[in-house]
Structures are given as structure tokens and as C-alpha cells.
Amino acid sequence: MTAVELIRRATEAGVEIALEQDGRLLLRAKREPSAGLLADLAAHKIELVERLIELSASSDAQPSAWLHLLALADGSVIQRCGEQATVLVDKEARLRFGDQLQAVVAVPGYERPFTDEEIVKALAGTFSAPAALPPPSSVWLARVARLLGARPAELLAGRHLEQHDLVELAGSDAAQVAKTILNSPAWINRPRPVEQLAERITEEKPEEQRFTHAAATATPAWRKAAAHYHNHLMACRACHAPTSRYCPIGSDLRQHYNNISREANT
């Protein structure tokens, strides 16, 4: 059995195979893979690693985008998020979906998932390029946090602001954004640690911000965590982020994504 055949077999069984930076294979699945599949993966580990390295190397110097749309024969569209070469996304999609895959459409210039209306325009080729956005501002984020009596990391970890908000809202009125967050159910019902009050009383001066959360300047670890998390949300029908409903894998990916964000803010 070749590595390509084994990757296809694993994909059909709902197992995602990735290569860690240290050369180890990373397996993700919604359910426990069969013993036979796990045995074959272990037996062909070297071939799998070589094939994944080959796929990764082939993506160098190739056109890439943060967002790719995978159009399937049944009319559904999967959004693949995370900076990747289009040729690599196309290869992986064909391994996973086979003849069901109709097209892979790269959408350069955007670093967020699309709405249904935007997807229709993008597939039709009528979606315009994004307008220039103001640069990300840690000062703006710090101001919103101060108006709420919180820390910037709390706003991001609690998902009151998303990573792309730092780019899209950097030029907006911080007071208005803070007011919107203040009146949101997510903020009103947020967990409040006992030590939080003491922190606010003793914090007289805002500490220097040392983080950058724009996708263009994010760390490789954050990019990888964000891509895994968003890709899972786009493909998993059991997960629904607006209502904080996640399957076990989605919950683990979200926790890992939040942990990476916290590390970047310390």
C-alpha cells in the first residue's frame, strides 16, 4: 500500500494526518480509528512522513491564500482556512473527496471565513478585492480593554474580540466597540475570577503591550492552531461557535487555540 493510498484510506475513515515540526505524525479523528488502520499507519510511518514532506515542499514558491473554497458535487462548499499553497490544498482535497470535488477556488486578500452571499460571488468570480484596511493597533486593543476594566488577553481569550477584528476594527471608535461588548450576553455572563477585582484595584497604569495578533504578523504556532480550529468549524456540523456548541475534537481545538492566544499575550 502506497502512502497516497493510505492517506486516502485514513481520510475516508475520518482521520486527518498532519506532520508536526519535529517530524512526528499527528492524527485527528472524531472517533477511534480501527486497529487495522492504526497498525497500517504505524507500519508505513516513514513513507507517510516522506510523502507529507514532499507535499509540503511542493507548496514552496507556489501561489497561496488564507481562504480556499472547496466546491463539492452535492452543492455544498467547504471553507479551508489558514495560509497554504493552492496546489497543496487542491491535492489534499482530491485525496479526501475524490470525484466529489468540483473545484478549489483560492480567495486571496481575505483572512476570514465568508458569508453564504460572499461564497456565491467568489465562486462566480464577481467578488471584488478587499479594500485597504488600517494596520493592526495594539494601542486600540489596549484602549478597548481599559474602557472595560479588563486586560487585552481576556478580550481575546473570551472571544469578545476575534483576531481579524484587530485588523478590521483598528480604525473604529474604541468607546463604541467597548459599549457593544459591555452590553453583549457573552460579556455579561462571562466567568469572573475572584482575584480579578484585586487585579483591577492594584492596576493603576496599563502595562506595556508586547503582542501582535494580526494574521500577517502572528506566530507560526498561532497560525497553525487557528487554521486547525477554523477548518474544523467549517467542516463539522456538530460545532456551532456562536452558541458555544462544540464536539469533543472541536472543544480540544478551541482550547488549544485559546492557550496559544494567551501565550502570545504574556
33-56 tens-digit pLDDT: 888 888 888 888 888 777 777 766
Strand segments, DSSP code E, in 22-176 are 25-29, 64-72, 77-85, 101-107
Whether residue 103 sits in one domain with residue 41: no
Residue 142 placed within a domain: yes
Whether residue 197 sits in one domain with residue 152: yes
Overall number of domains in the chain: 4
Out of 178, 202, 226, a domain closes at 202
Cut 0.75: pTM above it: no
Whether residue 120 sits in one domain with residue 148: no
Instruction: Quote the distance between the C-alpha of residue 219 and its chain's center.
Output: 13
Read off the pLDDT of each residue in 233-256 and give the average, rounded to a whole number: 79
**pLDDT band for position 131 (50/70/90)?**
low
pLDDT recorded at residue 201: 45
Instruction: Quote the distance between the C-alpha of residue 30 and its chain's center.
Output: 18
Is 223's pLDDT higher than 90?
A: no
- Cβ neighbours for 238, distance < 8 A, ≥ 6 positions apart: 245, 246, 247, 250
Rounded CA-CA distance 244/24 in Å is 31
Whether residue 222 sits in one domain with residue 198: no
Rounded CA-CA distance 5/164 in Å is 37
Least confident of 19-28, 51-60, 78-87: 51-60
Q: Give the domain extent around 157.
A: 138-202
Residue 86 placed within a domain: yes
Out of 105, 132, 159, a domain closes at 132
Q: Where are the alpha helices (DSSP H) in 32-125?
A: 35-43, 45-58, 86-97, 116-124
**pLDDT band for position 200 (50/70/90)?**
very low
Out of 155, 174, 202, a domain closes at 202
Cell readout for 30 is 472524531
Rounded CA-CA distance 81/95 in Å is 18
Instruction: Report how far apart, in Å, the C-alpha atoms of 240 and of each of 98, 165, 236 are.
Output: 27, 19, 9
Cell readout for 149 is 476594566
Residue 212 placed within a domain: no
